[in-house]
Amino acid sequence: MKRPQWITLAAALILVVILYKFGRITPEKKHVSTQNAEISDSAINTNSILSEAKKRLSAAQIARLGAIEHSVVRGAIRDQQLKVYHQLAHFWLDSAQFFEPYAFYEAESARLENSEKSLTYRAIARFESVYRLSKENIDTQLEACLMLAEAYERKADKSLAVGWYEKSLALIKNEEVKEEVRKRIVELRK
Task: Name which of 88, 149, 155 is nearest 121 in CA terms.
Answer: 155
pTM, two decimal places: 0.42
pLDDT the model gives residue 116: 57
**Residues 25, 36 contacting (CB under 8 angstroms):** no
The backbone torsions φ and ψ at residue 172, rounded to the nearest 5 degrees and listed phi first, read -85, 130
Q: Are residues 80 and 132 in the same domain?
A: no
Kindly list the distances between the CA atom of residue 118 and the CA atoms of 105, 112, 152, in Å, as whole numbers in the listed order: 13, 11, 13
Q: Are residues 110 and 156 in the same domain?
A: no
Residue 21 lies in a domain: no
Residues 6+ apart with CB under 8 A from 165: 145, 146, 149, 181, 184, 185, 188
Q: Are residues 53 and 106 in the same domain?
A: yes
pLDDT band at 41 (very low <50, low <70, confident <90, very high): very low
- Give residue-wise pLDDT tens across range 99-132: 778 877 877 777 777 655 665 777 777 778 778 7
Boundaries of domain holding 103: 45-114
Task: Name which of 128, 67, 123, 64 is nearest 96 in CA terms.
Answer: 64
Q: Are residues 103 and 152 in the same domain?
A: no
- Give residue-wise pLDDT tens across range 159-184: 998 999 998 898 888 888 889 899 99
Residue at a domain's end among 114, 135, 154 = 114
Residue at a domain's end among 114, 143, 174 = 114
Complete DSSP assignment for 145-156: HHHHHHHHHHTT
Residue 32 CA, chain-centre distance (Å), reads 26
